[in-house]
Chains A and B, each alone.
Chain A
């Protein structure tokens, strides 16, 4: 490279320095201005739960990012845009207000019943959200059996426990798991032995790895026929 730069005095140096600072300032202002437009142009969304979204009128007409559990059987991957419902994560009985999601994009591979879907889009007055972004979290695969009833206990109290949400744990009876659609999905035995068993009704996705003999923790309630209608099925695990 040539180094035939003319000699320049201190004065010039200062002027160059000021210009440098000036251009830096202009650059920073430009970047701040660009960032400011993000807020105006709908690049942001507030994080809310299904309960917060549906109970606060302020969210109507705004972009929100809401996470909820996909309601069993509420979706059809084949329609476009795809529509499904999500319920609040704490609302295991499914009685609370739900949000209808209209999703225009490819459903992630892991999408399914009972999966936590986090969607972003504009929320309207009918508790509907038009979403263009979705990420999914797998259903909690493992759950501790602490605090759950055994199959034996639950059977013994069947009369008083009807239609009350509870947790129960037991062993999957060999050869009983069938595909969704029927009245009974599988049967669980008392984990510590004995002949007690309960039929489980469940339409959602079973956790990966569940098979004959797996110890499962179920959330749901006993119905009038004595079957257990599960809203969540998890494998027993330390995590």
Chain B
């Protein structure tokens, strides 16, 4: 990857961060922590990796994305808007009555959402079923899955973890957005997940770890995953909950956050500064 492309993806990530906050700016509350920690992954998937056509959201041979941590819908909507699935203005309707952009991902309401999620653990199985369906039809498209690390408390994740290698689903690429926190605090203090990479490896996955806010490293991890045949892939992304949002990054309870107009303005200002810095580097 050239430096220019890296900067473009970093710029896209900041734009997605801004749009994620825009999504929640009307109701001034939302699942900001987990949305912000997966922004670089969104930028990589929608900015470079995924084979998609926003004009044909139902194209069956597209790459599919299942966001099992469905409460992070706003980050996905922000990414979808940048690709033109719908107009940026629509982001302002998030979580308001009649919206097509509900807090949790809904495939029947939002263009570009490939599976309804929200009850944690379930996207794991849905993604496996989707990858299985494509493999059955001999399609070459990839199925991407995003889990939260707190979500890995769910037994269903580990049912799927056993099942997917048995089916040799090597076009399934999963990520754990490992921000080390869940709603009530640090995962280590609530239900310690131990070494997730080793656990998935033991379950038969091709597993690797990666800095989750480094777009270049995420791209490389995905490329490496694609080179391993016969196994599903797991990429543990080490991230920071609330990353890049000035009023969420350094607070303890940052799963679902309420914010003021002033906090919103300050956060957007900081992100604009980041954008300017990246653009200067691009020049």
B and A form one assembly: no
